[in-house]
Amino acid sequence: MRVLGVDPGLTRCGLGVIDSRAGRQVSLVAFGVAASPADEAIDQRLLAIADQIGRWIDTHRPDAVAIERVFAQRNAYTVSGTMQASGVAMVEAARRGVEVALHTPTEVKAAVTGNGEAPKEQIARMVARLLGLDEPPRPPDAADALALAICHAWRPSTLSPTGQASTAAQKAWVEAARAARRGRRSWVAA
Amino acid sequence: MRVLGVDPGLTRCGLGVIDSRAGRQVSLVAFGVAASPADEAIDQRLLAIADQIGRWIDTHRPDAVAIERVFAQRNAYTVSGTMQASGVAMVEAARRGVEVALHTPTEVKAAVTGNGEAPKEQIARMVARLLGLDEPPRPPDAADALALAICHAWRPSTLSPTGQASTAAQKAWVEAARAARRGRRSWVAA
């Protein structure tokens, strides 16, 4: 399957496309960023991000778009642009009939490194190794987007009919996904 | 000028269109809501909201779309859907080349009633009076959207070449807008 990962942002939105095959094989298709000038009005910036993501979907025709789940607890000002960019990315995918999945940073880290608390540099190095690159993809937003795409390709439901996690990384993934669901439930109730 | 007001939301997005003429004359064109089913996936819900707002813009051809500025401090779960809906509304307007303006709830209340802290019911009653309606528009989201549209039509820059506020409501508006700008600046620096 082909997955487009999106690390949402207003100034820079990381984008990464991978192909995945049986046996946890992944290969690089493309990576880059969608950007918008900080001195433009917010509506023009969001439109620029939307159009660039739309073109990536049209060009690479992914089976799914995996987007980082943004939490409101982070810096209030930054988070609004990030959240709006993620909403806009979802609409671009949905309008084209492409499946959308959200993954938390912890899920992504656990999927790629087996450690839900892994530092960013470790993620980038692991992404490079998994995709057979000589060095970590830059900018970091693009590396994060590729990690999101790999995370989605390796999500537990694709591992086996019973959703059995076999490796340490898969077990950490399942644990992180469960924690995210628990967190979300109590969050809704709050 | 014709203004479409948007009170952003995921479950219900208030929409209201007004025409404004010289001398603070406003008249009703249409009001209603864009809705999305709570049991659908977030990307499908945002697409539904986007498409409905797009159709309102195509139908009523406003000169401007006025959207409530959403703050991240509110309930974390609700705010993410509201913020994403506002981002999606901005893109629908920007894609059609329609001007976008954001107004805070305080600005809207001050513009319509002269009191930035006015309760919701007072806003709705004032909207009805200004638009010559027998009773407040329902649901409340639609009344809020109409208040946003009126607020935008009456924004200080349209009052006089010098931006002079002449009535108490206009003075309160200018004060609220200044406070919002001050708040935003310190917010960015935080």
| Predicted ipTM of the assembly | 0.82
Please confirm, yes or no, whether B68 is among the known catalytic residues: yes
Q: What is the pLDDT of residues A21-34, one digit of tens each?
A: 988 899 999 999 99
**Residue B44 belongs to what domain range?**
2-181
Average pLDDT over residues A36-42: 95
Q: What is the pLDDT of residues A129-143, one digit of tens each?
A: 999 999 999 999 999
Q: Say what the pLDDT of residue A56 is.
A: 98
Whether the pLDDT of residue B148 is over 90: the answer is yes
Residue A158 counted as domain residue = yes
Higher pLDDT, A130 or B169: A130
Whether the pLDDT of residue B34 is over 90: the answer is yes
Which of A43, A141, A144, A175 is labelled catalytic? A141
Whether the pLDDT of residue A164 is over 60: the answer is no
Whether the pLDDT of residue A178 is over 80: the answer is no
Per CB-CB distance under 8 Å, the chain A contacts of B34 are none
Residue A92 counted as domain residue = yes
Which of A68, A92, A107, A144 is labelled catalytic? A68
Whether residue A13 contacts residue A32, with contact meaning beta carbons closer than 8 Å, is answered with: no
Higher pLDDT, B33 or B182: B33
Residue A37 counted as domain residue = yes
Per CB-CB distance under 8 Å, the chain B contacts of A88 are 84, 87-88, 91
Q: Closest chain B residue to A89 measured between Cα atoms? A: B43
Residue A188 counted as domain residue = no
pLDDT band at A188 (very low <50, low <70, confident <90, very high): very low
Residue B187 counted as domain residue = no
Q: Say what the pLDDT of residue B42 is.
A: 96
Share of chain B above pLDDT 90, in %: 71
Residue B14 counted as domain residue = yes
Please count the structural domains in chain A: 1
Residue B189 counted as domain residue = no
Residue A149 counted as domain residue = yes
What's the CATH code of the domain at B92? 3.30.420.10
Helix (H), strand (E), coil (C) string for chain A: CEEEEEECCCCEEEEEEEEEECCCEEEEEEEEEEECCCCCCHHHHHHHHHHHHHHHHHHHCCCEEEEECCCCCCCHHHHHHHHHHHHHHHHHHHHCCCEEEEECHHHHHHHHHCCCCCCHHHHHHHHHHHHCCCCCCCCHHHHHHHHHHHHHHCCHHHCCCCCCCCCHHHHHHHHHHHHHHHHHHHHHHC
pLDDT band at B163 (very low <50, low <70, confident <90, very high): very low
Q: What is the pLDDT of residues B73-119, one digit of tens each?
A: 656 666 789 999 999 999 999 999 999 999 999 999 999 999 889 99
Mean pLDDT over each residue of chain A, to the nearest integer? 87
pLDDT band at A167 (very low <50, low <70, confident <90, very high): low
Whether the pLDDT of residue A148 is over 90: the answer is yes
CB contact under 8 A, A75 and B42: no
